[in-house]
């Protein structure tokens, strides 16, 4: 698909969804007036992250006092089935991230209520739900529709049907999804951010999510090296964060 075709298809997709008009307006501003916003402070934060980065295994041990090896062995069959489903999927989306970090954050907090932004195939959703199912918990997910491709039917594709009873999926931009989620449940045990990558988008969402994280809850943000939003947020709020290096990218995590 050419870039022009993709942009045109995306624009038509927005026009068909009046409920997405606010996000369309934000996208136009982000890609015109605020074009440089996505990478604001990137060099500063990559240097900062590199200096303090640890492995996923080290982070889980340090923060939660847990070892990560059991996750892959206990869920070997489920993870293998999910990987095959991703491989067979005709639409390509984001692959699995630091699944152990997410899973053990939920185990550490005995999570019953978790919110995540960004779903794609549903790898992070799967890791979360494998923990939540033990406590009849609920995962609230925010994920924009895939307007430029026929990918909507594959959102959450790797999540087994048996786990979906504890999952509520909101198909809007975060600025529309999160207020709807917070109206259903006000306090969360774990927050996982993996959606709008822009500096302004992150800062808005971090502030909103942090308000709804309980004391002792875990905050996780993927791809913090894209810009300095995560670093700036932590410094503004005097948060001592752990940085995880995973497959060449940086993840931020802290306990409130």
CB distance 55 to 234 below 8 Å: no
> What are the angstrom distances between the C-alpha of 235 and each of 42, 45, 230, 238?
16, 12, 9, 5
d(CA 15, CA 224): 32
pLDDT of residue 51: 97
Spatial CA neighbour of 45 closest among 194, 231, 222:
231
Give the pairing of strands 53-54 and 242-246.
Answer: parallel
Q: What one-character DSSP code corresponds to residue 216?
A: E
As a whole number, mean pLDDT of residues 171-190 equals 95
pLDDT of residue 246: 96
pLDDT over 80 (residue 44): yes
Using a 10 angstrom Cβ sphere, with 0-12 exposed, 13-18 middle and 19 or more buried, the burial of residue 161 is exposed
CB distance 247 to 95 below 8 Å: no
Phi and psi (nearest 5°) for 209?
Answer: -65, -45
Q: What is the average pLDDT value for the chain, to the nearest integer?
A: 90
3-state secondary structure of 246: strand
> What are the angstrom distances between the C-alpha of 206 and each of 66, 140, 197, 243, 256?
26, 16, 12, 16, 13
Q: In total, how many domains does the chain have?
A: 1
Which strands, in side-by-side order, build the sheet including 188-193? Answer: 53-54, 242-246, 249-255, 213-221, 188-193, 113-117, 138-142, 167-170
In sequence order, the β-bridge partners of residue 138 are 113
d(CA 103, CA 123): 11
d(CA 35, CA 200): 11
Instruction: Encode pLDDT of 100-129 as tens digits.
Output: 999 999 999 999 999 999 999 999 999 999
Phi and psi (nearest 5°) for 255?
Answer: -105, 130
pLDDT over 80 (residue 139): yes
3-state secondary structure of 252: strand
Stated pTM of the model: 0.89
Structure tokens at 172: 């809007």
CB distance 195 to 171 below 8 Å: no
d(CA 217, CA 192): 11
pLDDT of residue 34: 63
pLDDT of residue 173: 87
Band the pLDDT of 94: cuts 50, 70, 90. confident
pLDDT over 90 (residue 238): yes
Residue 204: which domain range? 3-255
Buried/exposed 60-92: b ≥16 CB within 10 Å, e otherwise: beebbebebeebeeebeebbeebeebbeeeeee
Q: Which is more confident, 1 or 161?
A: 161
């Amino acid at each position: 698909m050419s870039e022009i075709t993709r942009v045109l298809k995306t624009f038509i997709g927005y026009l068909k969804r009046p409920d997405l008009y606010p996000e369309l307006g934000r996208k136009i501003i982000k890609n015109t007036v605020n074009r440089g916003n996505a990478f604001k402070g990137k060099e500063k934060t990559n240097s900062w992250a590199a200096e303090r980065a640890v492995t996923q295994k080290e982070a889980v041990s340090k923060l939660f006092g847990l070892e990560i090896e059991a996750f892959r062995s206990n869920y070997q069959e489920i993870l293998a089935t999910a990987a095959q489903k991703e491989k067979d999927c005709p639409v390509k989306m984001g692959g699995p991230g630091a699944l152990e970090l997410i899973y053990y954050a939920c185990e550490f907090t005995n999570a019953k209520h978790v919110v995540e932004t960004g779903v794609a195939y549903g790898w992070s959703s799967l890791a979360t739900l494998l923990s939540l199912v033990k406590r009849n918990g609920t995962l609230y997910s925010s994920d924009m529709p895939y307007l430029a491709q026929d990918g909507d039917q594959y959102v959450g594709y790797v999540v087994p049907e048996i786990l979906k009873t504890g999952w509520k999926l909101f198909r809007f931009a975060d600025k529309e999804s999160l207020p709807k989620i917070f109206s259903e449940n006000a306090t969360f045990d774990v927050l996982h951010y993996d959606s709008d990558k822009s500096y302004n988008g992150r800062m808005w969402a971090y502030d909103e999510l942090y308000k709804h994280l309980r004391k002792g809850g875990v905050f996780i943000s993927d791809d913090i090296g894209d810009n300095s939003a995560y670093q700036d947020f932590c410094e503004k709020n005097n948060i001592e964060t752990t940085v995880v290096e995973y497959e060449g990218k940086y993840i931020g995590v802290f306990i409130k």
